[in-house]
Amino acid sequence: MEGYIPADAECIDARDDDSGPWHNETSETVICLRGAVEKVFFDKAGVETERFVLRYGSSCSAIQVPLGVYHTCICLEPGSVIFEAKDRPYDPEGTEDLLEK
């Protein structure tokens, strides 16, 4: 399961360079199973377009990341866990590109 974090794992924040994946062949569903995370969307120029806080048990605990949207996930609470699913089988050789600022 992509997104599984063991109970004793450290909370990891967004990458230092603010790069994020862009899925050019699939959208992505993200569900917060424990704690809280923030999903941040960017346009192709790297400009932030939207932010969503996903918190377990709240009215916003899941989000659909549209096809072709750069995004990153910021952990807001230690021990947070997400489940991530794509519209198709995982393909390690070409389902995403990285946005470099």
* Locus of tokens 């120029």: 45
Q: Which residues of 41-64 are buried (b: 16+ CB within 10 A; e: fewer)?
A: bbeeeeeeeeeeebbbeeeebebe
The answer regarding whether domain 1-88 maps to CATH 2.60.120.10 reads yes
Pick from 69, 67, 91: nearest CA to 2: 91
What mean pLDDT comes out for the span 62-68?
90
pLDDT digits (tens, 9 = 90+) for 8-43: 433 434 334 444 566 677 888 999 999 999 999 988
Domain locations along the chain: 1-88
Distance CA 101, CA 34 (A): 30
State the Cα–Cα distance between residues 77 and 83, nearest whole angstrom. 16
**CA–CA dist 65, 72 (Å, integer):** 10
pLDDT in the model for residue 101: 55
Please give the angle made by the CA atoms of 58, 80 and 47, to the nearest 5 degrees: 80
